[in-house]
Amino acid sequence: MKKEWIINDNSLDAKDLLKNESIFNVANGYIGVRGNFEEKYPDGFYTVRGTYINAFYETVPISYGEKAYAFPGTMQKIVNVTDAQDINIIIDGEKFSLFEGRIKDFKRYLNMESGYYRREIWWISPKGKEIKIKITRIASLSELELFAIYYEIERLNFNGEIVIESEVNGEVKNYTNDSDPRVSAAHANILNVKSVVLEGDILQVESQTQNSKEIVSTTVKHCCSVNYDLTIEKNLKSIKAIYRLESSNKLIQFTKYVVYTDSRRHKEPSNCGFDIVEKVSKKTFDELIQDQHEYLKEFWNVADISIEGDEKLQQGLRYNLYQLLQSVGKDPLSNITAKGLSGEGYEGHYFWDTEIYILPFFILCHPKLAKNLLKYRYTILDSARKRARELGHKKGAAFAWRTITGEECSSYFPAGTAQYHINADIAYSYIQYYLVTEDMDFIKEFGAEVIFETARIWIQIGHFDKGLFKIDAVTGPDEYTAIVNNNYYTNVMAKYNLKWAAKLYDLLNQKDKEFLKSLCEKIDLNNEEIQLFRCAYKNMYLPYSEEYKINVQDDSFLSKALWDFKNTPKEKYPLLLHYHPLTIYRYQVLKQADTVLAHFLVEDETDFQTIKNSYDYYEKITTHDSSLSCAVYSIMASKVGYTEKAYNYFIDTARLDLDDTHGNTKDGIHTANMGGTWMSIVYGFAGLRIKESYISLSPRLPDKWKELKFKFLYRGAIIQVDMKKDKTIVGVQPKEPIKLKIYNELYTFENSKVMEIMLR
d(CA 671, CA 347): 14
Handedness of CA 372, 374, 378, 384 (dihedral sign): positive
d(CA 754, CA 220): 52
User: CB of 60 within 8 A of CB of 75?
Assistant: yes
Q: Look at residues 422, 432, 365, 453 and name the one whose alpha carbon lies nearest to residue 601.
A: 432
For 212, list phi and psi in degrees, rounded to 5. -75, -15
User: Pairing mode, if any, of strands 745-749 and 707-714?
Assistant: unpaired
Query: How confident is the model over 658-681, as a mean pLDDT?
Result: 95
User: CB of 669 within 8 A of CB of 642?
Assistant: no
Query: 308-325, pLDDT tens digit by residue?
Result: 988 888 999 999 999 999
Query: 402-426, pLDDT tens digit by residue?
Result: 999 999 999 999 999 999 999 999 9
d(CA 329, CA 31): 9
- Tell me which of 160 and 165 has the higher pLDDT: 165
Residues 6+ apart with CB under 8 A from 466: none
Cα of 588 vs its chain's centroid, Å: 30
User: CB of 204 within 8 A of CB of 220?
Assistant: yes
User: Pairing mode, if any, of strands 544-545 and 550-551?
Assistant: antiparallel
Is the pLDDT reported for residue 281 higher than 90?
Answer: yes
User: CB of 202 within 8 A of CB of 239?
Assistant: no
Amino acid at site 85: Q
Q: What is the dihedral of CA 229, 234, 240, 241, to 10 degrees?
A: 20
Strand partners, 116: 111
Is the pLDDT reported for residue 168 higher than 50?
Answer: yes
Is the pLDDT reported for residue 189 higher than 90?
Answer: no
User: CB of 504 within 8 A of CB of 513?
Assistant: no
pTM of the model: 0.96
Is the pLDDT reported for residue 191 higher than 80?
Answer: yes
Give residue 247's pLDDT.
72
Tally of CA atoms within 13 A in the half-sphere of 648 that contains its CB: 5
DSSP states along 472-495: -SB--S-TTS-SBS--HHHHHHHH
Tally of CA atoms within 13 A in the half-sphere of 736 that contains its CB: 6
* Alpha helices (runs of H) in 641-695, residue ranges in sequence order: 643-654, 671-679
User: CB of 681 within 8 A of CB of 351?
Assistant: no
Give residue 239's pLDDT.
98
Query: 736-746, pLDDT tens digit by residue?
Result: 999 999 998 99
Tally of CA atoms within 13 A in the half-sphere of 133 that contains its CB: 29
5 SS3 class:
helix
User: CB of 674 within 8 A of CB of 323?
Assistant: yes
DSSP states along 560-573: SEEP--TTS-GGG-
d(CA 314, CA 309): 9
Is the pLDDT reported for residue 708 higher than 90?
Answer: yes
pLDDT band at 175; cut points 50, 70, 90: confident
User: CB of 646 within 8 A of CB of 596?
Assistant: no
d(CA 108, CA 119): 4
Residues 6+ apart with CB under 8 A from 153: 89, 131, 132, 133, 162, 251, 252, 253, 254
- Report the phi/psi class of residue 18: left, alpha or beta, with left for phi > 0 and alpha for psi in -120 to 50: alpha
Q: Look at residues 306, 311, 313, 309 and name the one whose alpha carbon lies nearest to residue 677.
A: 313
Domains of the chain, earliest start first: 3-62+70-298 (2.70.98.40), 406-623 (1.50.10.10)
Marked catalytic residue, from 143, 408, 453, 479? 479
Query: 503-518, pLDDT tens digit by residue?
Result: 999 999 999 999 999 9
Q: Look at residues 229, 306, 240, 295 and name the one whose alpha carbon lies nearest to residue 85.
A: 240
DSSP states along 273-290: HHHHHHHHTTS-HHHHHH
Query: How confident is the model over 558-574, as a mean pLDDT?
Result: 97
For 657, list phi and psi in degrees, rounded to 5. -85, -40
- Tell me which of 189 and 339 has the higher pLDDT: 339
**3-class SS letters over 578-622:** CCCHHHHHCEECECCCCHHHHHHHCHHHCCHHHHHHHHHHHHCCE
Query: 90-140, pLDDT tens digit by residue?
Result: 998 999 999 999 999 999 999 999 999 999 999 999 999 999 999 999 999
Is the pLDDT reported for residue 180 higher than 90?
Answer: no
Is the pLDDT reported for residue 182 higher than 50?
Answer: no
Q: Look at residues 470, 510, 506, 507 and name the one whose alpha carbon lies nearest to residue 490.
A: 470
Is the pLDDT reported for residue 669 higher than 60?
Answer: yes
d(CA 681, CA 710): 9
Residues 6+ apart with CB under 8 A from 555: 484, 485, 486, 543
For 325, list phi and psi in degrees, rounded to 5. -65, -45
Q: Look at residues 254, 341, 335, 265 and name the one whose alpha carbon lies nearest to residue 53.
A: 341
Catalytic residue status for 479: yes
Amino acid at site 686: A
